[in-house]
Amino acid sequence: MVSNILEAIEGIGIYSLASMFVFVPFFIGVLVYVVRLKKEDSDKMSQLPLN
């Protein structure tokens, strides 16, 4: 039922493209941040909830 309603809306495909253009760069940015993170900073952040 929901898929029939969504198929009836004209231009609904643009929302999937817009979400991809927002979330893919975000996740790539987070991945780059994590890969470039120094070991000391990672250790400091891992202890934050415990302090």
Contacts of 6 (CB under 8 A, 6+ apart): 12
Query: 5-48 pLDDT, tens per residue?
Result: 777 778 878 888 999 999 999 999 999 999 999 999 988 888 88
pLDDT of residue 2 exceeding 90, the answer is no
**How do the domains of the chain map onto residue ranges?**
23-51
SS3 11: coil
Residue 24 to residue 36: CA distance in whole angstroms: 18
